Amino acid sequence: MREHRSNRAFTLRRLHYPRFADNLQHQLKVQATDRADHGKGGFERQRDARSEDRERRAALISWADGTLRLSAYRPVTHYTGNDARNLAMRLKRSLSGGPPSQTFASSSYMRRFRLRFVGAVLKLIRENSAAGVRLVTIIPREWRIQGRDLPTIKPKQYLERFRQQLIRAGLHETDGWFITFLHGDYDPNHDTYQLHLHIVMTDDLVPVIDRLRLLPAYRAGDPSQPGYVRQPIRVLGLSNPERRVSYHLAQAFWPSKPSYEKDGVWRRHPRRQRIPNPRLAEWLMWIDRQSFGDLLMLRGCRLGGGTLKVQG
């Protein structure tokens, strides 16, 4: 096993276990489908996370053995069968009830991480209620990449690119805090990933985000072409914080969302499915190599004393 690549994600003891008011197990309840809230169920159950890890182990073993299914796309050559088998072995740890491996590739680990991290964000919002909070989604058209290129992608470079855009838009002249999470989804019809950002931020920073709309990367483009994004920048107020914050920060997986054309407009199916192999196994091996600092960027707040604190 490549030990230097193990346990990169985030040490959970850096954050306290959330109290009742900020605990998604208690506060995130099952709801009827709500389009604005992106759905529905309560906080993921432990047995469901373990079941997902079984599916992921099977995908990795299938990839390693060459018995691929569900996709016509060829696997990349950046990973080896040993890479896949080693990760599959690490995912097995939680299936018998033991603590999961410290990797974002594990659904069981992500359940624990989301519980603590989103709980810390909810506490930060509640304890600084004088500052209004917005939710932002950023989808740069140029962040659409070919499936075979994912292993070469360094997410920290994308976060830094975005930070430099914010600086040019006046970030340093503005107060407030934000937490940015890099996410992605997969289009099996074109074998592409669309990287994007989810942000929880204070109202002070809305003018900075608005200035980004002038950049070519955030223009909608031709609606008939693959990769069309109707709203490259979307800003929402904060309602139902448990559900919205848990969606915007640290989602447990990247979904597969097929594309299609209707009435001359390129669209993405709203249904979220599991990425098909071989891309699923490759995404798992890629996300396993990422750390907290690779996927999340904080400004105006910091981790300390088992929680998130606003920097004075």
CA-closest candidate to residue 184, choices 272, 122, 108: 272
Give the pLDDT confidence of 290-305 residue by residue, as tens digits. Answer: 999 999 999 999 999 9
Backbone φ and ψ for 278, nearest 5 degrees, come out as -85, -5
pLDDT class of 36 with cuts at 50, 70, 90 = very low
**Integer Cα distance of 216 and 267 in angstroms:** 21
265 versus 41: which is more confidently predicted? 265
C-alpha span between 216 and 124 (Å, rounded): 34
**pTM, two decimal places:** 0.92
**CB-CB contact of 258 with 268 (8 Å):** yes
Strand 192-202 vs strand 133-138: parallel, antiparallel, or unpaired? Answer: antiparallel
Question: Can you say whether the dihedral through the CA atoms of 215, 217, 223, 224 is positive or negative?
Answer: positive
Amino acid at 157: Q
Whole-angstrom distance, CA of residue 237 vs CA of residue 241: 10
d(CA 245, CA 238): 8
Q: From CA 18, how far away is CA 104, in angstroms rounded?
A: 20
pLDDT at position 91 is 95
What is the structure's pLDDT at 37?
44
> Which among 11, 71, 40, 6 is positioned nearest to 303, based on CA atoms?
11
Q: Where are the domains of the chain?
A: 3-310
